[in-house]
Structure 1
């Protein structure tokens, strides 16, 4: 597998999805009221939290086992049969809890929520199958399809008068069509299931399940609690800030998704040196977007929310800065957390996740009541600090981790240089429209790029990636030889 090409493909898909989502939310923020859009965000929050028990960590276990190359057909059939049990329980629970769910959200969405859970799990299963086959690059089109379908059909549904329910219909339609496309592209056949495969999958999934809880708690628990203690308008503002900050981790997310199956294959072959060589080469590029993004958001947080989404959303500007700072740690965690799972130690990733969940719950409730959406951002950020530090500590037990400190220092210095230029420019040119804001961002991107390329090591790294994109080599191949 060409890791460079696959990473770029997934990064483009992730970036495309983020851009579509970002643009879609900005558009729907004008077609619907903040309260209506808040209903959709609460729907997504419930969906995100219910994914956890509906999957029970089985999809991640399937990707891990298929990537090891041991009886993939048997693993696939066994995993599908295993998934039926928790998925059925969750769907039944949602249907039984319809009155409470509808009352919490503010409209009747419980049945649609049950349908969406099934459709999402089917769609995501195809992603994990293709990734386990070391075809991460081939998942790019499947990953971006749901968002593209959501945007196009969502506009049609909303214009047809379906309101916020139209966005939910569009979400379900995106999952269904993307599942069909991904299922068609898989190469792993269905084979007779066995108890040995079931034991192998469940032994991994029980820990992967706990790690997933941390991820979804991190993504959605603060939104759910804001909906409980504040208003749906606050939900909309906070979630809009979250979506802006999520753009910064496109690169690290794509890299983490790409290297997991390859690391898993190397771990099965006990090629530890290759894994150790890949981690620093993954961390550096992961930070190249998120660090300057933090500095840029620190300058323009209020302007971004005001001009992109509207005046109702500008109240989340402080929360946006906090969330963007936290994304720096998330970029590191994306690599280290998945590396722990790839070397077959999901129990340690789960242990770190449990600590993070405890911090998240302990802080979110009081801080939201005291400081509103700013408190939610602080609680989420602190819980992720705990998760990242613990994952680094546990990973160092098995691997020698050498972070590229020189490159990271230059990236930080380049970001500060960019900020200085933007501060000077802002003293001369006022940012009073979306066009002026976009112009400022463009100047920042060009300035930062010039500073980065002034570093010979980073410049060589960029050129090496370009060369690998034109060949069949991956970063791991360049560093340690073909596997």
Structure 2
């Protein structure tokens, strides 16, 4: 497996997906307003939280077991059979509680929530199968196709007056595309399920489900709590800031996703030295875009929210800065957490996740009640820091982790140099339009890249990885 090529494909797809999402959210926010798009964000948040009981960690277990070289057809079929139980239970709960859910979402979306949950679980299973087949790079096109479908279908329906339902229909259409295309691309078919494989999958999934809770809590718990204590306008503003912050961990996500099946295979071969060599490079790559984004937000958080999304979203300017600082720690967690799961220790990853979940939930409830939107961001920052620390400590029990502090330090120095240059530029050129904002941000990225390439070590690794990616 060519890790550089797989990571480049995933990163490219992530950039495209982020651009599509950013464009879609910006357009839909202006067309529907903060309240309507806040209702959509609550729908997606609830859908994300329901993924935990509906999946029970089985998607991650499928990727892990197939990547180890097990019989993929039996693994896949057994996993699908196992998933029918938790999905059915969740659907029953949704039907029983449909009145409360409809009141919380602000629209009659319970039926669509059930449909979306089923399609999400089946379509994401196909992505896990492809990753387990060590074809991580091929999932990139599928992810992009899903986003394009959401934008086109959702945008078309918004134009004819469907409001928040338009975005939900677009989301469901994207899931259908992902399912059909993923099934077509996969080499895995059906086979007779066995009790042995069921036990094997469940032994991994019960811990992996807890790790999944952690990632979903970071993505959606603060939004759900804001929906309880504040208004849908606050939900919309906060989630827009969150979506912007998520864009900066695209490279981190691509790196962690690309190394998981390869580290899993090396672990099965007892090749610990290879794993120890790849983690430092993966960590540096994971932080390369997050660090300058945080420093850039110190200058432009207000401008981004006001100019791109509208003045009512500007209330989240401090939230955006805090969330971008949180992404520094999340970037570390992505690499360390996936590595810990890949060496077949999901139990320790689950333990670290449970601690951070309790902290995240408790802090979110108390901080949102006391400090509003900013409190939610601070709670997420603290929980992310704790999670990263625990994952690193647990991974160090099995591997020698030597992060290249000089390279990470140079990323910080380069980011500070970028901020110094942009401060001078914005002193003479006021930012009032989207083209001006885009031009300044692009200039900042160029200056950061130039400063970064002054490091011989980073320049050498970048050249080597680019050659491998295009080989």
TM-score (ref. length: structure 1): 0.97
Q: Which moved more, 1:311-320 or 1:451-460?
A: 451-460
Spell out, residue by residue over 1:404-451, the C-alpha distance to the aligned partner (whole angstroms, 9 max, x if none).
Answer: 111111111000010111111122211122222112112111111110
1:438 alignment partner in structure 2: 438
1:47 maps to what in 2? 47
- After superposition, give the CA deviation of every residue in 1:339-366 in whole Å (9 maximum; x if it has no partner): 0000000000000000001101111111
1:190-243 Cα deviation digits (max 9, x unpaired): 111111100100000000011111111111000001011100000000000000
Q: 1:330 is matched with which residue?
A: 330
Query: How far apart are 1:321 and its partner, in Å?
Result: 0.2
Q: Deviations over 1:251-275 (max 9, x none)?
A: 0100111110111111111111111
Distance 1:470 1:158 in 2: 40
CA distance in 2, matches of 1:91, 1:369: 31
Q: Which moved more, 1:226-235 or 1:158-167?
A: 158-167
- Residue 59 of structure 1 is matched in structure 2 by 59
Alignment of 1:42-121 (within 5 A): 42-121=42-121
Q: Is the 8 A contact 2:6 2:469 kept in 1?
A: no
Deviation at 1:470, TM superposition (A): 2.5
Residue 21 of structure 1: aligned partner: 21
Alignment correspondent of 2:383? 383
Q: CA offsets, 1:105-155, max 9 Å, x none? A: 111001100100001111100110000000001111111121110000001
Separation in structure 1 between the aligned mates of residue 235 and residue 460 of structure 2, nearest angstrom: 44
SS at match of 1:427: helix
3-state secondary structure, aligned to 1:108: coil
Matches within 5 A, 1:117-136: 117-136=117-136
1:462 maps to which residue? 462
SS at match of 2:320: helix
**Residue 198 of structure 1 pairs with residue 198 of structure 2:** yes
1:151 to 2:186 alignment: no
Query: Gaps spanning 5+ residues in structure 2: where?
Result: none
Distance 2:91 2:145 in 1: 25
Map of 1:479 onto structure 2? none
What's 2:182 paired with? 182
Q: SS of 2:288's equivalent?
A: helix
Q: Structure 1 unaligned runs (5+)?
A: 472-483
Matched with 2:138 is: 138
Taking the aligned partners of 1:200 and 1:302, their CA distance within structure 2 comes to: 50
Q: How many residues align?
A: 471
Q: Distance in 2 between matches of 1:449 and 1:282?
A: 18
User: In structure 2, how many angstroms separate the alpha carbons of the residues matched to 1:112 and 1:303?
Assistant: 36
Deviations 1:371-405 (Å, cap 9, x if unpaired)? Answer: 11100000011011111000000000000000011
Runs of 4+ in 1 over 3 A off after TM superposition: none
Give the secondary-structure state (helix, strand or coil) at the position aligned to 1:460: helix
Task: Specify the alignment match of 1:476 in structure 2.
Answer: none
Partner of 2:286: 286
Mapping of 1:353-368 within 5 angstroms? 353-368=353-368
- Who is 1:481 aligned against? none
- CA separation in 2, counterparts of 1:17 and 1:466? 22
State TM-score, norm by structure 2: 0.99
CA distance in 2, matches of 1:29, 1:282: 35
Structure 1 residues 177 and 470: alpha-carbon distance in aligned structure 2, compared to 1, 3 A threshold: closer
Distance 1:243 1:378 in 2: 16
Aligned equivalent of 2:415: 415
In 2: Cα distance, 1:432 partner to 1:33 partner: 21
Matches of 2:18 and 2:444 in 1, distance apart?
A: 20
1:18 Cα deviation from its structure 2 partner: 1.1
Q: Distance in 2 between matches of 1:426 and 1:12?
A: 30
Offset from partner CA, 1:155-190 (integer Å, 9 cap, x none) = 111112211111101100110111000011101221
Q: CA RMSD in A?
A: 0.8
- Determine the C-alpha separation between the residues in 2 that align with 1:61 and 1:409: 36
In 2, the alpha carbon distance for the partners of 1:345 and 1:94 equals: 33
Secondary structure of the residue that 1:141 maps to in structure 2?
helix
Matches within 5 A, 1:295-374: 295-374=295-374
CA distance in structure 2 between the aligned counterparts of 1:463 and 1:156, rounded to whole angstroms:
43
In structure 2, what is the Cα distance between the partners aligned to 1:284 and 1:386? 20
Residue by residue, what CA displacement relative to the aligned partner does 1:65-87 show, whole Å, maximum 9, x if unpaired? 00000122111111010011001
- Please give the alpha-carbon distance, in whole angstroms, between the structure 2 residues aligned to 1:431 and 1:61: 48
